[in-house]
Amino acid sequence: MNNNDIVQKLWNLCDVLRDDGINYSDYVTELVLLLFIKMVHENTEAETLEQHTLPEGCRWTDLNEKSGINLLNDYKAMLLALSTGQRGDEQIHEDPLISAIYADAQTRLREPRHLEQMIKTLDQIDWFSAQKDGLGDLYEGLLEKNAGETKSGAGQYFTPRALINSMVRCVAPKAGEVVQDPSAGTAGFLIAADTYIKEATDDLFDLTEQQIDFQKNKAFVGVELVPSTRRLALMNCLLHGMEGDDEGVVHLGNALGDAGKSLASADIILANPPFGTSKGGEASNTRDDLTYKTSNKQLAFLQHIYRNLKLGGRAAVVLPDNVLFEAGVGTDVRRDLMNKCNLHTILRLPTGIFYAQGVKTNVLFFTKGSATDKMQDEGCTENVWVYDLRMNMPSFGKRTPFTEAHLKPFETVYGENSDGTSARKEGEWSFNVEELEVDESTAEDVDDRLAKSRWRCFSREWISETKGDSLDISWLKDKDSVDAENLPEPEVLAAEAKEELTAALGELDALLVALETSE
């Protein structure tokens, strides 16, 4: 049984939860409260999580031999004890991380038989196979499954695993560096960075004890606003051997508020900030240290990120198109970014890779300071390289998954240097790009074949003079797109639409007559 099979088996338990009247959006939260106790049991059996064994009376063996109303009542009491650290007047644990994971935890299960069924199913899973691939990876698979199935909430903007891994490979985190995510979600970026470092250090065995302690407790810091999502993140990190400080790896709070303001500077920031605007201009009113006041969350997050980087620090951030072209404060923020940082690369992502359909996004890669001097604080961007992975790409979804193979050509031209300073050359022709037409305004002084590549370089001067500091830079035209400039006049289009509708109504009338005749 592989991890995919186990994930599907776990997901099938949602049918049991549904039978108990639990809402779709609460499935995973309800499931992981029980699942984490089981996973800690399996890890403790394997002697890989000794320091985080749950207190007596709150372990898997305290559940799986019980039944009926006693089981349900004991489970409810167990969740309360894990949350508070107390059972009645008795102090049963003082682990702030366990308390954080189970903060305000309570089950909505009402039928003991449903809890029994879930426990029996978890006991029947081939945990030996699961442990070979890593329980953390199994848990990640469940979160990804939830995001794929959920049509709203956290699943709406779940960052595809292929994209996370590609961004991490580009910025190449190293042991000893502080990696942050101010909008951590379920900690996907932080865990991918940890995995990358472990692969480079023989699962940390190449490091000293002091370095290992840093990696487990200080290297990764995230901030998450939603308590239930933070719970998932803390469990996720712990199952991957990431402990963090007394609050865990992921702190509860608002990165656009005091939680973000108090964060120490980071060597690397990886993030996919939430889309949308803050209610009542919350983002601009809460952080008085942000230079440009705005209710646009992404512009506020972007300011926080490049301000919070150490000199020479690296960032990769997923941002929607509007951040690249929004006027007013948007222009001010982009200018400030290019002034203080070397914005060396923009990856234009295809549509459909996020679960919210139609969202157009990009990844901005930048380094604090210039390419040659990390102390430089003005005029740091000289050239911006843009890779267009959007035009003439398939419509991604369940039938056509977005994979790491789609990102390999970009990673190749990005180069080995994590700060974007590798020697680069324009031109990359993956995915039949040469079939496309080109916007003539961006094709000047470029030969025809280069104009049809996916990889182009634009000078800071050109961006300022030609684009007015907009970073919405595109030069390819999708072969299936309609050129607005060549459309007929509106009255012609309206007349054509009227003719088509009239013809359709005529066909419906004929169909009704035929049906009446046959009757």
Backbone angles phi, psi at 47, to 5 degrees: 55, 40
SS3 140: helix
Does residue 437 have a pLDDT over 90? no
Does residue 479 have a pLDDT over 50? yes
Amino acid at 283: A
Does residue 18 have a pLDDT over 50? yes
Dist. CA 365–CA 387, nearest whole Å: 12
Which of 86-94's residues contact partners 24+ apart within 8 Å by CB, and which partners? 87/57, 92/55, 92/56, 92/57, 92/58, 93/54, 93/55, 93/58
**How are beta strands 437-438 and 476-477 bridged, if at all?**
antiparallel
**Which pLDDT tens digit goes with each residue over 168-178?**
999 999 999 99
At a CB cut-off of 8 Å and minimum separation 6, what does 65 contact?
A: none
What average pLDDT does this structure show over 437-464?
A: 85
Dist. CA 502–CA 85, nearest whole Å: 72
Radius of gyration of the CA atoms of the chain, in A: 26
Q: Which three-class secondary structure string do you get for 242-302?
A: CCCECCECEEECCCCCHHHHCCCCEEEEEECCCCCECHHHHHHHHCCCCCCCCCEHHHHHH
**Which pLDDT tens digit goes with each residue over 148-163?**
665 444 444 478 899 9
- The pLDDT score that the predictor gives to residue 399 is 81
Which of the residue ranges 144-153, 177-186, 320-329 would you say has the lowest mean pLDDT? 144-153
Dist. CA 505–CA 246, nearest whole Å: 69
Which of the residue ranges 118-122, 198-202, 435-439 would you say has the lowest mean pLDDT? 435-439
Would you place residue 304 in the very low, low, confident or very high pLDDT band (cuts 50, 70, 90)? very high
* Axis crossing angle, helix 27-45 with helix 68-84, rounded to the nearest 10: 80
Greater confidence (284 vs 405) lies with 405
**Which pLDDT tens digit goes with each residue over 249-280?**
999 999 999 999 999 999 999 999 987 665 54
Instruction: State the chain's mean pLDDT as an integer.
Output: 86
Q: pTM (2 decimals)?
A: 0.85
- The pLDDT score that the predictor gives to residue 284 is 44
- The pLDDT score that the predictor gives to residue 246 is 85
Dist. CA 381–CA 402, nearest whole Å: 31
Q: How far is CA 358 from CA 179, 320, 325, 402, in A?
A: 30, 11, 17, 15
Backbone angles phi, psi at 65, to 5 degrees: -110, 10
Q: By percentage, how much of the chain surpasses pLDDT 90?
A: 51
Shortest CA distance to 240 belongs to which of 28, 103, 49, 94?
49
- The pLDDT score that the predictor gives to residue 260 is 92
Q: Which helix (H) or strand (E) holds 28?
A: helix 27-45
SS3 482: coil
Does residue 52 have a pLDDT over 60? no
- The pLDDT score that the predictor gives to residue 498 is 72
Q: How far is CA 90 from CA 78, 81, 100, in A?
A: 13, 10, 19
What average pLDDT does this structure show over 194-213?
A: 96
DSSP string, 425-442: -S----TTGGGSEE-GGG
Reported residue count of the chain is 519
Would you place residue 491 in the very low, low, confident or very high pLDDT band (cuts 50, 70, 90)? low
SS3 479: coil
